[in-house]
Structure 1
């Protein structure tokens, strides 16, 4: 049996395990013809429809990245992994270099259009609608795989599954299967260590992981910042530019997972300490400001696998707690700042322009889903859920008034006053969805679904989906996909009343997007496979902060209009020999502001990624990868030349001594390419620098 036929066989077996009769499936080969090694070579996903499906038959354009892929990349942080996904570009923001995950050219300052899940549970803040600005990265030793939907996911996942969905799946005790300890050291005074233990003990599956990393961050230079502009206007010279971007941080990550029969419980902690502010909170370099964040997530799931004939269900409750705490004064502008409002109208801040916003947040999500597979041709999934979230203890100390003049009392707390940056708010919502997987012919399947969400602060929304999948031949699959998604306005966008630079708008409507996709997967031979898709989308009521034009630098959140985008993505995997694998992808996108009929800008129109994994000895592997990011156009109104394309080359070697010892050495950006990502013309005219050449060595031991 060829590899192509075996891939098709897995489609049969997995579908049968999920409720299909054997003669109802797309292909007729038996799963038992597959060896364990061959099974391990075939990728499956559950993110697209909630049930395990071979990647080529999934009801969405999906990428799966395994723990082995992560190791072959030499990746130490999730951002490095996500940058290899076609159609997804990772770009640093001006807020502590918080990563923005741009799917298919859908760009924004806060990046709330991407939903991140950890084991299927949303990881997001109500305040900003994203993963929290005090992010600090995510280490990877506890990650089993990462599943990514490129395109809408609101029909299953609700709010913010707008441009794409990222699900990080951590290792169970069975997958850890032993005790591992390791350490890594490298450039920028980086030290990291980890300890993982897991296994199956009778009816219990127990896994625990602890990871730590401390780094000073890279020290690339920012030549000009927002304070440079103030200096030019006021005749002062207090800017820290030229100066290095400030990216130091300490990361602690703890995860515990326990499974007992039908129960599964997880507990996670993400601690971020001494996190510096990158180019500064408002793009004026601040070598002193630091933040802290604590994130706790917990979930409990019970599977009713034998609820009735052909009926299974699961119930889940999850809890999230997150904070943003200033650890030291954050200098929005440095000591000696003079702000010029008009000729003869100035405000002096000899101690600096200081603002220290903080908050705490918690939320609870309860949901139940069921799957009925008693019909010959249908699998019907139903779900119901309720969400409650609360942003509380919003705090702020500052030494300026809402009109940007010095406070008479200097640095003061404005918590529990109308001058605090964000009022305390809560939100509730409830939802229900239905999905039908209908195999109406042996080689055809239609997955359709509809989800209804109701929010306490802005109303209701409905989001449908449809995926027509045709197993054209045993080795070729075609898909026609449609989906609508929405993005709920964040609390910052709705309710901020006393921020010096951005104001909320309680009349905002949610953003919506309609996406159409045509996709193909072809197993050309046992050595070559490829997939290709074409997409088109239209966005309504896109939210951005537009200038108030009131003589201050303030802007307000508004539904500013429409965008459209289109493009294509191509993935290829080649196995020239049993020892050598080549993986490559290419993506093209064009995103247009319909009101101006211009490219939205700030995202590459073209991307290419290539990786080679070569096992030149059973104990040695050589890995190389090239990431090319094409020219990035400027947004409308930005007259600077387009940002040049750049290519970075990484290479590494790994050594294994059985399953007991693993050592690696990786060099990143070998040729020390001077790469930059877009920064605002008004504050960072020379853009945001990326890391130069770096080197990392690691050693892991299994007891």
Structure 2
């Protein structure tokens, strides 16, 4: 097989997002491998833009393939991400939105982790995260997940702070027939999906649609924010004890078409009937329902060798997001007594729409001996518009005489309508200065119209000590841009913005080693240390209000260990352990709300008789509280998950059974110190108990 065909295999399924272009520059031994051996290598391009074996990547990176996902007892993206060392998935009080906490770095909205879909950010301008009506992501359309643990702003700009998650959806190279499926499981969960594609001929395309509806797990909350309010006012309005509300309906649709050197993608994520979790201000809300509609479009043109040794990728993308209220959101339940009586509940219905347009040019020059030079420039324009709110209370929390009233386009609306323009330029050099050594250096400059500019460098020194042992020393700086909410909110009943905010800055240092012990065993380990300046959080300023402020510095250190052991042709063991400690430098105390220890292990059996079975154990250590929270740490917990797949139960039909939390462990994730009371939900947030999902999939 010639180099061009091998390169095609390497690039198949790699995201365009890492600013990479197809190239045949490599001296790392890839060309010496057979196609069979090549298929066993985990290749990533997220770390530098160049397809690279995972052990030699210029960052601490995890790659999860569609085959890995099929072996896992996971039913949603969040459950897959929990298997990544150093990454913990916990919950926000805002509609129970997932928080992806990497190495202990997170705040209430979790904007410090950048999530990409096919290389394009799904960052929400208003809040800085994925939006509070994210509601997870199904798995059938996912081809690969790449995760950088550590900063990535030198390539990806804002919000690539604690880490980067790139979700690559299935394209024509992944879907070559018609596949349909249905599922049913606990909590009245029903799902169905459809996939079809063609990789033949000049026009290649793929389409995927997934639908799910569920009542949610309805774990019990014993006390909430209204419980204490009842005690203080003599009312009995609280819905606690009662269930957390995690119902949802979701639609995921993806379409991709490629012709020659042009690729076009369309996507839609619809979320409906979304419950408010423990309530938006941690008072159980049995009534409120949210919806969200996300649309994305991108077109990519790849021009190889437009002049000798020079290639360019041009990408134009459009992203639109919304938050809509389907049923009145009861911040406090009917009968509550605040600065007046609210027989119908204390109601606030916040909504908005936003859109972002991006244009990027990413070039690769291979004309220098032993160098790959990348230059990128780009611009984006984003707009938060159609901000809406209806509510039945005044700014001083007294009842509005007319009941629920629209305050759109007034000073009382919860979020001002704002736009943001940004520009960037970056330069990166990959220099193989000796047979076994490579130095990757880069710097990126970003300018933002609403807070200023920032410059972020990186250095990665990689030493292939032997064919089996690789070591890497990494340095990176990253920043996190303040969100529109953090900068400009003036009329939210709970939080206030601050136009004097500076961006968060992190400097990170890492040492990693990968060792191929033999053909069956691969070990990798890393240690890290980081320093954070100007960390942003909402600080209590009295009168039940919190304001966004730069609260000083944090530091963190830890390490991660990974093992992959192919016992024989039928049995595989995958495991990892992670430790982190993140400290607030003002108090010298653990910042809390993340486990210091995590351990994960999966054993998978392939009987080679069309039966696949896997068992997983996930142990999460205790989680300390934040400085203003005097509760005991959240206890550690262990969950066991099982998955059974019977392939070709009938010709072309597979049966899949997934059992999660086998022992029905009462798993709790930490609730924050309350927004209205010091500990609004003292018993923490309940997670999913025992659940079973059965699926039937048919391939034509």
Deviations 1:200-220 (A, max 9, x none): 241111000000000000021
- How far apart are 1:637 and its partner, in Å? 2.6
- How far apart are 1:17 and its partner, in Å? 7.5
- How far apart are 1:39 and its partner, in Å? 2.5
- How far apart are 1:604 and its partner, in Å? 0.3
How many Å separate the matches in 1 of 2:500 and 2:65? Answer: 43
Give the one of 677, 680, 685 matched to 2:672.
680
How many Å separate the matches in 2 of 1:569 and 1:300? Answer: 38
Deviations 1:418-462 (A, max 9, x none): 000011100001000000000000100000000000000000000
User: Does 2:689 align with 1:692?
Assistant: yes
Instruction: Tell me if the contact between 2:257 and 2:263 (Cα under 8 Å) persists in the aligned partners.
Output: yes
How many Å separate the matches in 2 of 1:35 and 1:698? Answer: 33
- How far apart are 1:698 and its partner, in Å? 0.6
User: Does 2:379 align with 1:386?
Assistant: yes
Give the one of 625, 629, 634 matched to 1:634.
625
User: Does 2:344 align with 1:351?
Assistant: yes
How many Å separate the matches in 1 of 2:401 and 2:45? Answer: 58
Q: Which residue of 1 aligns with 2:25?
A: 20
Instruction: Tell me if the contact between 2:73 and 2:616 (Cα under 8 Å) persists in the aligned partners.
Output: no
- How far apart are 1:30 and its partner, in Å? 4.5
Instruction: Tell me if the contact between 2:245 and 2:275 (Cα under 8 Å) persists in the aligned partners.
Output: yes
Q: Which residue of 1 aligns with 2:575?
A: 584
How many Å separate the matches in 1 of 2:173 and 2:447? Answer: 39
How many Å separate the matches in 2 of 1:164 and 1:141? Answer: 24
How many Å separate the matches in 2 of 1:89 and 1:485? Answer: 20
Q: Which residue of 2 aligns with 1:436?
A: 429
Q: Name which of structure 1's ranges 528-537 and 615-624 shifts more when overlaid on structure 2.
A: 615-624
Instruction: Tell me if the contact between 2:372 and 2:430 (Cα under 8 Å) persists in the aligned partners.
Output: yes
Gaps of 5+ in 1: 1-5, 340-345
Instruction: Tell me if the contact between 1:26 and 1:471 (Cα under 8 Å) persists in the aligned partners.
Output: no
Instruction: Tell me if the contact between 1:19 and 1:373 (Cα under 8 Å) persists in the aligned partners.
Output: no
User: Does 2:526 align with 1:511?
Assistant: no
Equivalent residue runs for 1:57-206 within 5 Å: 57-206=56-205
- How far apart are 1:617 and its partner, in Å? 3.4
Instruction: Tell me if the contact between 2:21 and 2:312 (Cα under 8 Å) persists in the aligned partners.
Output: no
- How far apart are 1:107 and its partner, in Å? 2.2
- How far apart are 1:643 and its partner, in Å? 1.0
Instruction: Tell me if the contact between 2:10 and 2:43 (Cα under 8 Å) persists in the aligned partners.
Output: no
Instruction: Tell me if the contact between 1:563 and 1:593 (Cα under 8 Å) persists in the aligned partners.
Output: yes
- How far apart are 1:349 and its partner, in Å? 1.1
User: Does 2:520 align with 1:536?
Assistant: no
Q: Secondary structure at the match of 1:188?
A: helix
Q: Name which of structure 1's ranges 368-377 and 209-218 shifts more when overlaid on structure 2.
A: 368-377
Q: Which residue of 1 aligns with 2:488?
A: 495
- How far apart are 1:26 and its partner, in Å? 4.1
Instruction: Calculate the TM-score normalised by the size of structure 2.
Output: 0.95
Instruction: Tell me if the contact between 2:329 and 2:349 (Cα under 8 Å) persists in the aligned partners.
Output: yes
Give the one of 473, 478, 483 matched to 1:485.
478
How many Å separate the matches in 1 of 2:21 and 2:253? Answer: 37
Instruction: Tell me if the contact between 1:19 and 1:310 (Cα under 8 Å) persists in the aligned partners.
Output: no
Gaps of 5+ in 2: 1-5, 15-19, 674-678
Q: Which residue of 1 aligns with 2:658?
A: 666
- How far apart are 1:616 and its partner, in Å? 2.1
The 3 A distance-change label for structure 1 pair 10 and 158 is closer
Q: Name which of structure 1's ranges 629-638 and 272-281 shifts more when overlaid on structure 2.
A: 629-638
Instruction: Calculate the TM-score normalised by the size of structure 1.
Output: 0.95
Q: Name which of structure 1's ranges 171-180 and 484-493 shifts more when overlaid on structure 2.
A: 171-180
Q: Which residue of 2 aligns with 1:34?
A: 34
- How far apart are 1:680 and its partner, in Å? 2.5
Instruction: Tell me if the contact between 2:73 and 2:615 (Cα under 8 Å) persists in the aligned partners.
Output: no
Give the one of 348, 355, 363 matched to 1:362.
355
Q: Name which of structure 1's ranges 478-487 and 680-689 shifts more when overlaid on structure 2.
A: 680-689
How many Å separate the matches in 1 of 2:353 and 2:95? Answer: 19
- How far apart are 1:10 and its partner, in Å? 9.1
- How far apart are 1:35 and its partner, in Å? 4.1
Give the one of 606, 611, 615 matched to 1:624.
615
